[in-house]
Structure 1
Amino acid sequence: METAFTKLVGVRFPLVQTGMGWVAGARLVSAVANAGGLGILASATMTYDELAKAIGETKARTANPFGVNLRADAVDAAERVELLIKEGVKVASFALAPKKELIGRLKERGVVVIPSVGAARHAEKVAAWGADAVIVQGGEGGGHTGAVATTLLLPSVVDSVDIPVVAAGGFFDGRGLIAAMAYGAQGIAMGTRFLLTQESTVPDEVKRAYLAKELDGTVVSTKVDGMPHRVLRTDLVERLERGGRLAPLVAAVKNAGRFRKLSGTRWLDMVREGIAMRHAKELSWAQTIMAANTPMLLREGLVNGNTDAGVLASGQVVGLLRDLPTCAELIDGIMAQADEVRLRLR
């Protein structure tokens, strides 16, 4: 299925695996790439050296294009951009709008720039700065999310820009792909659906916890890190929701220290990144401090398999998922169903 997006990034199918922290490593990304989609490495939870290693391993596993998700507010964002250029990575995606200078540097070296946006005005801004495409996530999506449903947010963004738009939030099958294209999207992006595949490194017991959830099995909480964050309903999340404001702040400071040791990041750099995040997302200082919770709480659940002490980001779509296909089986199934739907609509 050729669209403006597949031609832009050089993949067979208009399907994107999002850059999920602690999940989207070389094994998952290369499996998606080999199956014809665009896999994206999650570098926000990697050190620079870990990212370099992950890029090398992904290149060893696939000859097809793949991407890397970068934190635009990271202290070493410019160095990571140069790494992508040196290694010939096809796509750079961003959760926050990258600076105009970063977009220019990537584009002049042939790297496709795809920021994620949550509003039409954000899409207009990055398009004016030279972004090649945007991913727009509706409120159904997992992790940090907004309040507007994909069915409303997507057409507003499509109508606002002339670059390819990829839809995220609530997608898992071929019907969703055709629906998104009917709105004007050039592809779909999925996180939870790819997390629940055989190549995902998430522990099996955690995958079973995801598969057991129904459509009401997620909640958008601000108690995890101070920002709206869609996660699975677990005992830990329920306790956070019932608790006051002081305990999460204390936990955030402790987790900041744990993440600093794990990542090798200096306290000064963490403070600088926190200030940049505060300005970029217009956060209060309390929200900025609580944002330190995210990496370690997600790692505890998604890497260590400790659902009692960890948080599990998830889209609402988890309530419709009951299997663990390979990435190839998943992508082939989505495209086959999309063809059936197209034929039925003729």
Structure 2
Amino acid sequence: MKIAWKTPLTELVGIRAPIVQTGMGWVAGPRLVSAAANAGALGILASATMTLPHLRDAIREVRKRTGAPFGVNLRADASDAADRVRLLIDENVKVASFALAPSPALIARLNDAGVLVIPSVGAVRHAQKVAAWGADALIVQGSEGGGHTGQVATTVLLPQVVDAVDIPVIAAGGFFDGRGLAAALCYGAAGVAMGTRFLLTRESTVPDPVKQRYLAAAVTDITVTTKVDGLPHRMLRSEMVATLESSGRTTQLLHALRHAAAFKKHTGLSWRQLLQDARTLRHGKDLTLSQLLLAANTPMLLKAAMVDGRTDTGVMASGQVAGLIDDLPSCQEVVERTTNEARTALARIASR
């Protein structure tokens, strides 16, 4: 593929296309990340559900598959965040991305080691904060995006953030093709980040029956619920979402206990660490035990669908763009098609 894109994002990271494959839990593993990187995009490895040894192995597997730059997504509020940062530095990872704002100390440590820091934000004030702390770029996600999301649409949030900071801004939430990339560039973004589009590729390890559920979904089949972990979460309507939304507090607590125990076993965390991570994830609010345990619902409910293929017992995080996607191309085809469509769209605008 011959790509001649030059934006602040491509120059900063050393990639060929101004596209980021987001760090989706249970989805963005070595196979998808390396395929996205080889296609010219920035692949981001999802690490929140990995133990430290697993993360090290995953990083090394990506490196075996590609010589292109890639990143790792971290939870800045995790109890072992410092250890994970050390691992990224030791393994010479190019980019550290964060779903929540990392502390100034973490940013400084990564910057000193030459690791680029790219947090995700959903509000202007958060963008200004991480930029002031030394972030190299940021991903701004509007409410159309999948997973945990805010209330402001990308078309409203993006121009605010672009005007508020002087570092490269990557637009996320509602992007799946070249028209979206062209629009984001016109807004002043340095590129786009896409999750659902890369989830629905041939290299994605999501089971085929689950992919078919996404492909069959209309825009109106994608909803926002707070019943998974108490926070707004965009996902496909499913049997489990309906069950969670109709269940009472006792049933929710039983779900939370079962999934918390499963996540504890998977990660090796103690109950104290599990509750501590849940508390920081939910911004330190004064919460009940059942509300804290609900935070463990997300990774295990996602695993049920994304790994085990159980759409009846799991949930499927999704951007609204799932309702517009109807194919399963390779990552190479996604990047080529997106960049070619964007060139055509921008040339059409210039000709007018």
TM-score by structure 2 length?
A: 0.96
Q: CA deviation at 1:22?
A: 0.3
One-letter amino acid matched to 1:83 = L
Out of 228, 232, 244, the position equivalent to 1:228 is 232
One-letter amino acid matched to 2:133 = W
Q: CA deviation at 1:283?
A: 6.9
Out of 14, 22, 28, the position equivalent to 1:18 is 22
Out of 165, 172, 180, the position equivalent to 1:161 is 165
Q: Is the 8 A contact 2:239 2:313 kept in 1?
A: no
Q: Does 1:208 align with 2:198?
A: no
Distance (whole Å) between structure 2 residues aligned to residue 112 and residue 290 of structure 1: 32
Distance (whole Å) between structure 2 residues aligned to residue 245 and residue 11 of structure 1: 48
Q: Does 1:62 align with 2:74?
A: no
Aligned residues: 345
Distance (whole Å) between structure 1 residues aligned to residue 133 and residue 268 of structure 2: 33
Out of 38, 43, 48, the position equivalent to 2:47 is 43
Q: Which residue is equivalent to 2:76?
A: 72
Distance (whole Å) between structure 2 residues aligned to residue 304 and residue 120 of structure 1: 37
Out of 109, 115, 128, the position equivalent to 2:132 is 128
Distance (whole Å) between structure 2 residues aligned to residue 74 and residue 184 of structure 1: 33
Distance (whole Å) between structure 2 residues aligned to residue 104 and residue 256 of structure 1: 33
Q: Which residue is equivalent to 2:299?
A: 295
Distance (whole Å) between structure 2 residues aligned to residue 278 and residue 333 of structure 1: 39
Q: Does 1:327 align with 2:304?
A: no
Q: How does 1:259-298 map to 2 (within 5 A)?
A: 259-279=263-283, 282=285, 284-285=287-288, 286-298=290-302
Seen in structure 2, the aligned counterparts of structure 1 residues 27 and 146 have a Cα distance that, compared at 3 Å, is same
Give 3-state SS (helix, strand or coil) of 2:205's partner: coil
One-letter amino acid matched to 1:71 = R
Give 3-state SS (helix, strand or coil) of 1:33's partner: helix
Q: Which residue is equivalent to 1:188?
A: 192
Q: Which residue is equivalent to 2:319?
A: 315
Q: How does 1:240-251 map to 2 (within 5 A)?
A: 240-251=244-255
One-letter amino acid matched to 1:41 = L
Distance (whole Å) between structure 1 residues aligned to residue 276 and residue 321 of structure 2: 35
Distance (whole Å) between structure 2 residues aligned to residue 234 and residue 325 of structure 1: 25
Q: CA deviation at 1:291?
A: 1.1
Q: CA deviation at 1:84?
A: 0.6
Distance (whole Å) between structure 1 residues aligned to residue 157 and residue 131 of structure 2: 17
Q: How does 1:106-145 map to 2 (within 5 A)?
A: 106-145=110-149
Distance (whole Å) between structure 2 residues aligned to residue 75 and residue 127 of structure 1: 24
One-letter amino acid matched to 2:219 = L
Distance (whole Å) between structure 1 residues aligned to residue 275 and residue 237 of structure 2: 31
Q: Is the 8 A contact 2:275 2:293 kept in 1?
A: no
Give ranges in structure 1 of 5+ residues lacking alignment: none
Tell me which moved more, 250-259 or 15-24: 250-259
Distance (whole Å) between structure 1 residues aligned to residue 170 and residue 257 of structure 2: 36
Q: Which residue is equivalent to 1:98?
A: 102
Q: CA deviation at 1:235?
A: 1.6
Give 3-state SS (helix, strand or coil) of 1:89's partner: coil
Distance (whole Å) between structure 1 residues aligned to residue 22 and residue 257 of structure 2: 28
Q: CA deviation at 1:246?
A: 3.0
Q: Is the 8 A contact 2:275 2:292 kept in 1?
A: no
Give ranges in structure 2 of 5+ residues lacking alignment: none
Q: CA deviation at 1:57?
A: 0.2
Query: How large is the Cα RMSD of the aligned pairs?
Result: 1.1
Q: Does 1:9 align with 2:22?
A: no
